[in-house]
Amino acid sequence: MEFSQCLREIRKASGKKQREVAEFLEVNIRTYQLYEEGKNEPSIKKLIALADYFQVTLDQLVGRTSL
């Protein structure tokens, strides 16, 4: 599974809105939407922040292991 798909599934499973996650990352909503659309990728720092926020491993977040 691709990062964008994993991110979307993890976010939905946590019950968070895109806007909430964007605010946490301190990016605008469109930037976050591009992550979920697979048209942009976050920096390593943002990836780590996302994994911490959703309490998942980086491998789970990027689709290397199942959720």
pLDDT score at 67: 67
Q: CA 20, 24, 26: angle at the middle one, nearest 5?
A: 115
Cα(10)–Cα(48) distance, rounded to whole angstroms?
Answer: 14
One digit per residue, pLDDT tens: the chain, 67 residues? 899 999 999 999 999 999 999 999 999 999 999 999 999 999 999 999 999 999 999 999 999 987 6
Which CATH class name applies to 3-55?
Answer: mainly alpha
Cα(49)–Cα(45) distance, rounded to whole angstroms?
Answer: 6
